[in-house]
Amino acid sequence: MVVETKKEYYVESPTDSNSHHDNVDGRPTTPLLDWGQYLKDVETAHNSLLQIADQLKQSFSQLDSLQAEFESKYLTQKKDIESLKAYLKDITDTLQYKEAKEKIESWSRDLKQLSFLMPVSGGIFVELFLGTTDLGFRRRQQRMAFKTQYELYKKRLGPVFVCATFLCFLFERNRWLHMLLQLFLAYYYASLAIRENILRANGSNIKPWWIWHHYLSMGIATCFLTWPDSTSYAMFRNRLHIFGMYTALLQILQARYQMARLYTLRSLGKAGEMDVANTDSTQIHWGSSMKLLMPFVIVGQFIQLYNCIFLYRLWRMFPSETHILVASLLFLCTFTGNFSTTMYTLYEKATGSNNNNNKKKRT
């Protein structure tokens, strides 16, 4: 009887000289080894595993004690430095001021660099779902795995939203299908907000506006989810699906551009390992891809403004349906944030290019 392991074969040991016999087809069998040797090897590996487990438990226990001591001293030091900063105001005219100020600033920088060792919860929104659990990933492997899962999550769900929106077009009177899509959108934006808050707490470059954008989008999806199958909904549903289809396709195109640009920035050392592909996190490179993509981005933002105006007029026709007004205001906030962020990013790019050109002319 042959027992297969990763590197070798163990078989029952021969009990007599007839054990080395041929198969029925005349081919010789595998040389027989001792079962006892196999069991001994497994026992040795098992004992080694138990020994490593004991060492790991001891290390975790020491780490917990060290972490608690660090947190206590960190908070105490932070409090003392804040007190010293207040004390500086009283000694501005003394000889000690300059030396004390330099030391306090140096200590503050040290605390800022050490802050990643402190527990992080991810913010109020994450605490609503996960409580005050420490979500800081101390190991690089954990941080990178979480970031990779986040990027794959967005990449895989883009085509799903395109297909789901297309089905809503085909079955425009199926309110349950529309509700299912909005429920999934609410879940999607909530999960993105949770993941991005955790990424941000672990050193990612995600700006607060894009997390707020997910909060607003979650609110919009909730408004459409609770919208009754009424005349007002029938007047808006096709516009909603057109906007949803356009947004889903645009997000797929944006993701491809952003990932390519992010890889370039990483290779140049201009992006950190925890930076993710977001419209705010990748510096704009005015190449052929960006020239083609930016007009579609701006058109999508003005569709949001159009939806805001249309919903407001619709609410004037059906003033008792307050969820229409809420959706209109949420669209207005989304448009304002998206458009202002895009214009500011383009302005930064334009001023940065002008400064670089001026430096080249001087040299």
Question: Does residue 3 lie within any of the structural domains?
Answer: no
150 with 192, same domain: the answer is yes
Task: Specify the number of domains making up the chain.
Answer: 2
Q: Quick one: pLDDT at residue 27?
A: 54
Backbone torsions φ then ψ of 22, nearest 5 degrees? -90, 155
145 with 111, same domain: the answer is no
Mean pLDDT across the chain: 82
Question: Does residue 19 lie within any of the structural domains?
Answer: no
Of 117, 150, 176, the last residue of a domain is: 117
220 with 287, same domain: the answer is yes
Sign of torsion over alpha carbons 199, 201, 205, 208:
positive
Question: Does residue 128 lie within any of the structural domains?
Answer: no
Q: Quick one: pLDDT at residue 227?
A: 93
111 with 146, same domain: the answer is no
Which whole number is the average pLDDT over 172-192?
93
Question: Does residue 126 lie within any of the structural domains?
Answer: no
197 with 345, same domain: the answer is yes
106 with 196, same domain: the answer is no
Q: Quick one: pLDDT at residue 281?
A: 39
Position 324 pLDDT exceeds 90 = yes
**In terms of residue numbers, what domain contains 56?**
35-117
Residue with the bigger pLDDT between 22 and 79: it is: 79
163 with 303, same domain: the answer is yes
Show the beta-strand stretches assigned E in the chain.
Answer: 2-4, 9-11
176 with 99, same domain: the answer is no
Q: How many residues does the chain have?
A: 363
Residues in CB range of 1: below 8 A, 6 or more apart: 11, 12
pLDDT, tens digit, 9 for 90 and up, residues 236-264: 999 999 999 999 998 888 877 777 777 66
Question: Does residue 7 lie within any of the structural domains?
Answer: no
Q: Quick one: pLDDT at residue 92?
A: 72
Backbone torsions φ then ψ of 27, nearest 5 degrees? -80, 145
SS3 3: strand
86 with 180, same domain: the answer is no
Of 52, 84, 117, the last residue of a domain is: 117
Place of tokens 């214009």: 343
305 with 187, same domain: the answer is yes
107 with 158, same domain: the answer is no
pTM over 0.95, yes/no: no
Position 48 pLDDT exceeds 90 = yes
Q: How confident is the model at residue 2 (pLDDT cuts 50, 70, 90)?
A: very low
Backbone torsions φ then ψ of 357, nearest 5 degrees? -65, -40
* CA–CA separation, 216 and 199 (whole Å): 19
Percentage of the chain beyond pLDDT 90 is: 40
pLDDT, tens digit, 9 for 90 and up, residues 301-320: 999 999 999 999 999 999 99
Question: Does residue 109 lie within any of the structural domains?
Answer: yes
* CA–CA separation, 299 and 240 (whole Å): 15
* CA–CA separation, 67 and 279 (whole Å): 37
Which whole number is the average pLDDT over 123-137?
87
Question: Is 199 exposed, middle or buried (CB count within 10 Å of its CB: 0-12, 13-18, 19+)?
Answer: buried
Burial state string for 210-231 with b = 16 or more CB within 10 A and e = fewer than 16: bbebbebbbbbbbbbbebeeee
Q: Does residue 74 contact residue 111 with C-beta atoms inside 8 Å?
A: yes
Question: Does residue 124 lie within any of the structural domains?
Answer: no
pLDDT, tens digit, 9 for 90 and up, residues 102-120: 888 899 999 888 887 888 8
Question: Does residue 272 lie within any of the structural domains?
Answer: yes
180 with 327, same domain: the answer is yes
At 95, list the tokens: 């000889």
Q: Quick one: pLDDT at residue 3?
A: 46
